[in-house]
Structure formats: C-alpha cells, structure tokens
Amino acid sequence: MGIGKATVIKVLLSGNILKKLGDQHMDPVDTATEAIKFASACYGMPGTADMTSLRYSVWSSKMSNPRLISAPQLNPLPPTTEASEAHVLRAHLQTGIWKAALEADPPILNPVHYG
C-alpha cells in the first residue's frame, strides 16, 4: 500500500511544505529539496536525504515484515531520485503557469528548462 490522501493532507497542513512550488523566483533545486522533505514526511521517514534512500528505506521496512509471503509490489514505493526530480520540474512549471494565469503580463516560461 502507498500513502493515502488523508496522510498527504495531514502533512500539508502540518507545516510550511511545498510553498516554493510554482514560484518563478525559486531555484528548481530548492523546490526539489522541498519536495523530498514532503515525500519523506508522507512516508513517515522525515529527514531522508534523497528519494532513492527513501525508496530503499520503504522497501526495507516492507521486507522486514515477518508475515510477508512474497516480495511486495514496486508501484507503491516512492520514485527514484532521477524520476522524482523530473516530476518536480514538470509540477513546478505547471504550478507556475497556474499561479500566473490571471496576471496581465505573465512570465514566459520555457518548458525545455523544466524537463
């Protein structure tokens, strides 16, 4: 099982998380770092350095279940660092477009720079 909507909403309401998403003045690396903090909090493992480490930690915790009969599914695991960085860049671009939708002179964002 992955994480549910209630967990995501609880993490979002608990603190200052994902505030940089879509902000045109923020470095995408800072946004990716913030997204890693968010994902690790959702999986109950705050402070994880990168998504690959988080993925390994979640896998290890699932494999340590003594009632496990077969290997757990891979789809509820968090994505790798590379896949999550690409996803965060796309989400950052889309959120930036949505935030600027009602501006008279919205910034022109080059999608090539956002994966």
Closest CA to 37 of 17, 9, 7: 17
The Cα angle at residue 8 between residues 96 and 20, in degrees rounded to 5: 30
Per-position pLDDT tens, the chain of length 115: 568 899 989 988 888 788 888 888 888 888 888 889 999 999 888 888 899 999 999 888 888 888 878 777 888 888 999 999 899 989 988 888 888 888 888 877 778 877 7
Structural domain span for residue 91 = 5-114
At 53, give phi and psi (nearest 5°). Answer: -65, -40
For the record, the structure tokens of 43 come out as 């999986």
Please say whether the dihedral angle defined by the alpha carbons of residues 26, 27, 32 and 34, taken in this order, is positive or negative.
negative
Model confidence, pTM: 0.79
Cα distances (angstroms) measured from residue 70 to each of 6, 37, 67, 79: 28, 30, 9, 21
Cβ atoms of 85 and 32 within 8 Å: the answer is: yes
Domains identified in the chain, total number: 1
